Amino acid sequence: MNKLKESFRQNAFNEEKTLAQVYSRAQKNGLKTTESLRTKQRSRMNLGWILGSAAVLVLAWMVATSGWLPTTPSTQVIATVSINVNPSFDFLVDENMEVVEVKKVDDDAQSIDVTGLVGLPIGKAVNELIERIEEAGYIDLFDLTDDFVVVTKTFEDGTTTVIMDRLELHLREQIQTGSALSRMNVVEMKATQIEKREADGKEIPIGLYILQGMVNLPDGSVKSAKEFFAKTENLDRVKTQARVRITTPSAEKIRQRIEDACARLEKEGEDATELRTRLENAGLEEMLRIQSEIQIKLKATEEPGNPDSGNPDSGNPDSGNLDAGSNPEAPAENGGANQGSGNGDSGSGTNGNGNSN
């Protein structure tokens, strides 16, 4: 990042500075003691303290690895976060919002390396997993095809609303800003434990199990989220469900991928000047139209001898595209966050009617 942008990031709407100001006011108003001013002050540890802590940690590690202590985690699992792209996984999450176990749910998942995901905050773990799924070739976050991930949360009995909110927010942060998640259509749902048990019993990933129920498909007839949402009628049906929240990539991300596609077209010897000019001032609807046109052109360049290569259906603007609608900024989002007040932008392109029950 150049210094100009860096300067804006550090000084305009600086998250840490605002937090420090809030805490400072809280202290002045007697809501917060000096000792509890925890921000950044903890990091001002002296060298002796650091060395002492390091020695204790090394000792603890030696004891733990020598078998003197039980190695099973003592933390309590509060929820299972199930991820379905095409490979499907279950993350078991503790009350610190950290992953304590990753389960591979289907055959495709077996080829994905999940090393290092245990111990990560749940949001980051999911984002990291999506990156690995992309590396394995199941999805391409930079092509013009909409990618879907279904995120289903099943909470353990007795989990408080506060804990549920914390989990939601950990995920939301990554859905909005995560390198991979923010480029995808994220379909979020909550499942009951009964539903989860039924899905496990039928060996169907929970997300797809619920989605299939919503559109009355026979069990097992759909194998992946991509396949499911490739059918426009399925997507339309799901959008009307109150328990579903769908977040689409931001307009900026869509613009980026169209620009990438223009570059690919030019590489193939096609002239993309007109498309680029239109893109310059395009709103979201126009962007989706341009995207469809590029899809057709790209397909034609890939299959020059194919008489169907110009099939307009292949670039159907409805094919899998959510009406990310009119959201001009942050990932289009709907549902719980809207709780009567909209999602922060009058131009929000939300889908479905999610809630946070």
Secondary structure of 35-74 in the HEC alphabet? CCCCCCHHHCCCHHHHHHHHHHHHHHHHHHHCCCCCCCCC
Give least dist CB 11 to other proteins, A.
4
Binding segment toward other proteins, per CB under 8 A, in 126-134, 185-193, 199-207, 325-333? 325-333
Binding-site member from 119, 213, 220, 283 for other proteins (CB under 8 A): 283
Binding segment toward other proteins, per CB under 8 A, in 6-14, 43-51, 141-149, 193-201? 6-14
* Residue 301 or 356 with smaller CB distance to other proteins: 356
Query: Counting contacts by CB under 8 A, is residue 343 touching other proteins?
Result: yes
Identify the three-state secondary structure at position 175.
helix
Query: Counting contacts by CB under 8 A, is residue 21 touching other proteins?
Result: yes
Q: What angle do CA 330, 150, 147 make, to 5 degrees?
A: 65
Give least dist CB 257 to other proteins, A.
15
* Residue 132 or 172 with smaller CB distance to other proteins: 172
* Residue 165 or 219 with smaller CB distance to other proteins: 165
Please state, in angstroms and rounded to a whole number, the distance separating the CA atoms of residues 139 and 255.
Answer: 19
Please state, in angstroms and rounded to a whole number, the distance separating the CA atoms of residues 286 and 187.
Answer: 24
Query: Counting contacts by CB under 8 A, is residue 5 touching other proteins?
Result: yes
Query: Counting contacts by CB under 8 A, is residue 285 touching other proteins?
Result: no
Binding-site member from 205, 325, 336, 349 for other proteins (CB under 8 A): 336
Please state, in angstroms and rounded to a whole number, the distance separating the CA atoms of residues 40 and 16.
Answer: 9
Strand-pair category, 351-352 with 148-155: unpaired
Identify residues 235-254 at the interface with other proteins (CB under 8 A). Answer: 252
Query: Counting contacts by CB under 8 A, is residue 11 touching other proteins?
Result: yes
| Torsion, CA 91, CA 126, CA 193, CA 169, rounded to 10 | 120
Phi, psi of 186, deg, nearest 5: -105, 120
Query: Counting contacts by CB under 8 A, is residue 281 touching other proteins?
Result: yes
Q: What angle do CA 61, 63, 68 make, to 5 degrees?
A: 140
Give least dist CB 228 to other proteins, A.
27
Amino acid at 88: S
DSSP code of residue 138? S
- Number of helices (H), then strands (E), in the chain: 12, 7
Binding-site member from 83, 92, 93, 97 for other proteins (CB under 8 A): 97
Query: Counting contacts by CB under 8 A, is residue 328 touching other proteins?
Result: yes
Please state, in angstroms and rounded to a whole number, the distance separating the CA atoms of residues 292 and 258.
Answer: 10
Instruction: Using CB under 8 A, count the residues that bind other proteins.
Output: 56
Binding-site member from 132, 183, 190, 255 for other proteins (CB under 8 A): 255
* Residue 105 or 287 with smaller CB distance to other proteins: 287
- Tell me how far CA of residue 215 lies from CA of 167, 196, 234, 323, in angstroms: 28, 18, 6, 19
Query: Counting contacts by CB under 8 A, is residue 38 touching other proteins?
Result: yes
Task: Report whether 97 contacts 168 (CB < 8 A).
Answer: no
The most distant pair of C-alpha atoms in the chain lies apart, rounded to whole Å, by 76
Binding-site member from 127, 152, 248, 338 for other proteins (CB under 8 A): 338
Identify residues 204-223 at the interface with other proteins (CB under 8 A). Answer: none
Give least dist CB 56 to other proteins, A.
23
- Tell me how far CA of residue 346 lies from CA of 41, 287, 295, in angstroms: 39, 20, 30
Binding-site member from 7, 192, 240, 273 for other proteins (CB under 8 A): 7
Identify residues 150-169 at the interface with other proteins (CB under 8 A). Answer: 160-163, 165-166, 169
Query: Counting contacts by CB under 8 A, is residue 120 touching other proteins?
Result: no
Residues near other proteins (CB under 8 A): 2-13, 15, 18-19, 21-22, 25-26, 29, 31, 36, 38, 97, 160-163, 165-166, 169-170, 172-173, 176-177, 252, 255, 280-283, 328-330, 336-345, 356
